[in-house]
Amino acid sequence: MALDGRVAIVTGGATGIGYAIARRFLHDGAKVVIADINERAGAEAARDLSEFGEARFVHANVAEKLDVHNLLASALDAFSDVDILVNNAGIVHKAGFLDLDVADFQRVLDINLKGAFLCGQAVAQHMVEKIRQGGSAGTIINMSSVNAEFALADQVGYSVSKGGLKQLTKVMALALAPYGIRVNAIGPGSIMTELLHAVANDPAARNTILSRTPLGRIGEPKEIASIAAFLASDDASYMTGQTVYADGGRLAL
Ligand code: NAD
């Protein structure tokens, strides 16, 4: 199996896209640590996914440095290593630029962008140390969005954070390439999850999405998980610094 023996941390893995990635990684032979702020859903997810392999839940807020260090320590304690990190945790907040409260702007950036920086730095430091001691290189995946390419006027912090993640991916890829650590991002279009429901919960909003999606449907979390599985595997061994879009054709318009 493509990820046999690898250890992965998936942030925001209690639900939605992160859950689908955790499930796919387990299916592909990895051991998985689900890190999430939602204690109940996270514990349930790890329990449910245990039928596919070794899954653990660690309660962690990716925006808090101490939580991130505890997360890494717990993963090392459980599985002795970390080979794959998926920075998937993310939130949306709906407000236009003129009305946006700075605290809401900051909260979105803290979770979506600073969280990926904190987790990425902590895990990369572990990976570099391991390589210096003769170990093998790992890989990091950041969850960006099509909104890295086009802004949403009513989701200011979200659009900024996802654009930032595209650039953070390049910066991390450059810094870690000398160690053989690959860093890529995924840019989903509209995927059927709670997060999408929070911003498009009425038929009119859904129809607008569909009218801007050439494939004519909303995507499934597993259609993002399959891209994460590819990027995490050795099949993507010459890819780094890229954002791969899976958007039903949205960016082709
Ligand atoms: P979701 O709301 O189903 O899942 C997000 C998960 O992140 C939840 O389990 C939540 O508890 C967790 N989380 C939130 N804040 C956290 C924190 N501070 N620390 C740790 N965990 C935290 O949403 P989703 O649609 O599965 O989104 C996953 C990722 O995919 C996000 O980064 C999102 O921006 C991105 N994305 C989603 C879509 C879409 O249409 N659903 C499109 C593009 C990008």
Q: What percent of the chain has pLDDT over 90?
A: 98
Structure tokens at 73: 């320590």
- Inside any domain, residue 196: yes
CA distances from 242 to 6, 22, 151, 201, 232 (A): 22, 21, 19, 31, 13
Choosing from 19, 158, 179, 245, the catalytic residue is 158
User: Looking at residue 226, what is its pLDDT?
Assistant: 98
d(CA 11, CA 73): 15
Residue 169 burial (10 A CB sphere; 0-12, 13-18, 19+): buried
- Inside any domain, residue 1: no
User: Looking at residue 19, what is its pLDDT?
Assistant: 98
d(CA 220, CA 75): 28
Whether ipTM exceeds 0.95: yes
Domain count, the chain: 1
Range of the domain at 177: 7-252
- Inside any domain, residue 140: yes
User: How many A from CA of 230 to the centre of ligand 1?
Assistant: 20
From 33, 69, 195, the mutation candidate for ligand 1 (largest count of ligand atoms within 8 A of CB) is 195
Asked if pLDDT for residue 230 goes beyond 90, the answer is yes
Q: Is 158 a catalytic residue?
A: yes
User: Looking at residue 105, what is its pLDDT?
Assistant: 98
Give tens-digit pLDDT for 32-71: 999 999 999 999 999 999 999 999 999 999 999 999 999 9
- Inside any domain, residue 162: yes
- Inside any domain, residue 110: yes
- Inside any domain, residue 150: yes
CA distances from 205 to 78, 187, 211, 218, 224 (A): 43, 20, 10, 12, 22
Span 63-86, average pLDDT: 98
Asked if pLDDT for residue 199 goes beyond 90, the answer is no
User: Looking at residue 70, what is its pLDDT?
Assistant: 98
Asked if pLDDT for residue 201 goes beyond 90, the answer is no
- Confidence band for 174, pLDDT divided at 50, 70 and 90: very high
Query: Is pTM beyond 0.90 here?
Result: yes
Average pLDDT, the chain: 98
User: How many A from CA of 88 to the centre of ligand 1?
Assistant: 6
Residues with C-beta less than 6 Å from any ligand 1 atom: 11-12, 14-18, 36-38, 60-63, 88-91, 111, 115, 143, 145, 188, 190-191, 193-196
User: Looking at residue 47, what is its pLDDT?
Assistant: 98
Give tens-digit pLDDT for 110-162: 999 999 999 999 999 999 999 999 999 999 999 999 999 999 999 999 999 99
Here the CATH number for the domain that contains residue 113 is: 3.40.50.720
- Inside any domain, residue 2: no
Residue 98 burial (10 A CB sphere; 0-12, 13-18, 19+): exposed
Asked if pLDDT for residue 83 goes beyond 90, the answer is yes
The vertex-172 CA angle with 170 and 105, nearest 5°, equals 80
